[in-house]
Amino acid sequence: MLPASTTSGGGMPEFTVTGLDLAVIIGYLVLSRIIPLVASARMKKKAKAGGKETDESEDYFLGGRNFIWPFVGLSLVATNMSGATFVGLAGGAYDQGISIFAYEWMSAVILVIFIFFILPFYLRSKVFTLPEYLENRYDRRSRMAFAGFNLFANMFIDMAAALFAGAVVVKVLYPDIPMIVSVAVLAILAAVYTVIGGLGAVMISDSIQATVTIIGGVIVLIATFNAIESWDAVVQTAGDEKMSLILPADHPDLPWPGLITGVLIIGLYYWTTNQLVVQRTLGARSLDHGRWGSLLAGLIKLSFLFLFILPGVMALSLYPELESSDTVFPTLVFDLLPVGLRGLILAAVIAAITSTVDSILNSASTIVTMDFVKTLRPDTSQRRLVFSGRVSTVVALVVAIVWAPFIAQFDTLYQYLQSVLSFLVPPVVAVFLVGIASKRISATAAFLTLVILQPLGLALFIVTQVLPEEPTIQFLYAAGISFGLSVLMLFGISLLGPSPDESKTGELTWKKKYWTEESKELRGTPFWANYRFLSIGLLALTAFLVVVYA
């Protein structure tokens, strides 16, 4: 048997994928393409047999709004993972320490906010897309502006970056394979069931992918923990800063005030206003299933500390001289795991890649079809809408395949892409959240906030982050400033004009009576089914982890 890897001298390890590993990977890929399509078709058939009639477009884009909470939760997690979940979190922990867990525990907090104050309005409006929700709350101008931004972000940031990260993983294992080939193969693997089965197949696939990925993380965690000399040795090697979750206010990467001014705002965009993610909850069978699924996703996100981050920290004591942090995860897999089991972990990495890409493809096709095709041609038949969705999926795929390899030529710009959302998304968060909180916000205020502050944010990103040799402002602080300006602009413009029509705001803004009426409905509900008790439990667990590792 060939050696698994070589790490002597701290250089780049040599990786060998055996025949058994390859057989496991291929077997997984074949089954994970077939199972979602078959299961999705059976679910549709069962729903129709039970008398639940849905439009063809609703079946394709939202899975007939028939998903129970485990599918919703696992799909949310799988969508959130990318090809870099394993490699990126382990490598980031190796370089930066456990402070990168901030993005994970903050997700749990944000998902609680989401299910209390935001999701009910989305489901009440019965929309296909979040841009459509903006038209219901404001007007068509805001819908089209946000749809355009969402589509751009899906193709040029989310999907291209996911494919690029996946190709980097393949490059570590097979250096001779051209990047464009890796990108194309990964994209096609994700597109197979996305084009044919729509959101139904995607969510079933995501549930499988998330499960495999979590199992893979558990295996690597156990193997790494068994390999270290002792936990005390790990703590001593890592040092106090890398073992601390909360960093000083002047830290260049993650200052603690930035948790509120930046991480919270970026997270609110990602988990509550991004079509890519929220579409999973729009397909929930009911509000309860959407809420329970979101809480499950928050709980799984907390486990990332143990599944992906701590193995990276433990690698400091096992391989203290690795040349690149990107090799941390592959080194752990090939040094510590037996043949065959390595194939399962590599399958989990591919699962993370394809789960992100299939979700982005479905999101992009939904926006093109429902926000552009149906809006501009309202008489389009259901069959033509589904056909448009399939065509737009293929087009988005081709654009991302062509663009993804170019990211490799802009290493510095690719790193800056992690902060560009801090300048672009605060106006979006403000338009959605303030619009739900206050019926006084007008359609003109929302539209102008989007079309003025988003381009201005992009310009400021270039001036403060790209052009100078060193950034002139920490991007997490910039997000807070941008959000504050967005709120001021929304209220300032709204107060200068007449109050919005009650028909636009009546059902889509927060009222105390919603809380009171729901409280009555929840009386007698067992605590294990009451989302309020479950939310308190999730927040308590989050607080416990933050305090322990602070």
- 261-282 average pLDDT score: 88
Q: How confident is the model at residue 37 (pLDDT cuts 50, 70, 90)?
A: low
Shared-domain flag, residues 433 and 400? no
Shared-domain flag, residues 434 and 290? no
Q: CA 207, CA 300: separation in Å to the nearest integer?
A: 13
Q: What is the pLDDT of residue 83?
A: 55
Contact criterion met (CB below 8 Å) for 180 and 402: no
Q: CA 307, CA 220: separation in Å to the nearest integer?
A: 8
Shared-domain flag, residues 147 and 277? yes
> Of 51-65, 184-198, 313-327, 392-406, which range is least confident?
51-65
pLDDT of 508 > 50? The answer is yes
Name the nearest CA neighbour of 500 among 448, 452, 449, 446.
Answer: 446
The domain that holds 206 is classified in CATH as 1.20.1730.10
Say if 361 falls within a structural domain: yes
Which strand (E) or helix (H) includes residue 287?
helix 287-304
Say if 64 falls within a structural domain: yes
Say if 284 falls within a structural domain: yes
Residue 503: give the domain boundaries: 410-510
Q: CA 288, CA 422: separation in Å to the nearest integer?
A: 32
Q: What is the pLDDT of residues 302-320, one digit of tens each?
A: 999 998 899 999 999 888 8
Choose one of 388, 406, 424: the last residue of a domain: 406
pTM: 0.84
Q: CA 405, CA 414: separation in Å to the nearest integer?
A: 11
Choose one of 386, 406, 426: the last residue of a domain: 406
Shared-domain flag, residues 109 and 220? yes
Shared-domain flag, residues 221 and 261? yes
Q: What is the pLDDT of residue 534?
A: 95
Say if 521 falls within a structural domain: no
Contact criterion met (CB below 8 Å) for 476 and 422: yes
Q: What is the pLDDT of residues 206-221, one digit of tens each?
A: 788 788 888 888 998 9
Q: What is the pLDDT of residue 454?
A: 92
Contact criterion met (CB below 8 Å) for 471 and 422: no
Contact criterion met (CB below 8 Å) for 328 and 314: no
Q: Higher confidence at residue 1 or residue 145?
A: 145
Name 284's bridge partners.
67
Shared-domain flag, residues 189 and 267? yes
> What totals of helices (H) and strands (E) does the chain contain, helices first?
27, 0
Q: Higher confidence at residue 91 or residue 487?
A: 487
Report how far apart, in Å, the C-alpha atoms of 123 and of each of 59, 293, 337, 467 are. Answer: 16, 14, 45, 43
Say if 479 falls within a structural domain: yes
Contact criterion met (CB below 8 Å) for 363 and 130: no
Say if 172 falls within a structural domain: yes
Say if 497 falls within a structural domain: yes
Contact criterion met (CB below 8 Å) for 468 and 416: no
Q: How confident is the model at residue 433 (pLDDT cuts 50, 70, 90)?
A: very high
Q: What is the pLDDT of residue 67?
A: 80
Shared-domain flag, residues 293 and 363? yes
Contacts for 139 with CB less than 8 Å, ≥ 6 apart: 443, 447
Say if 536 falls within a structural domain: no
Shared-domain flag, residues 393 and 421? no
Shared-domain flag, residues 89 and 217? yes
- 343-352 average pLDDT score: 76
Q: What is the pLDDT of residue 64?
A: 55
The most confident of 123-132, 248-257, 364-373, 477-486, by mean pLDDT = 477-486
Shared-domain flag, residues 491 and 379? no
Shared-domain flag, residues 480 and 398? no
Q: What is the pLDDT of residue 10?
A: 45
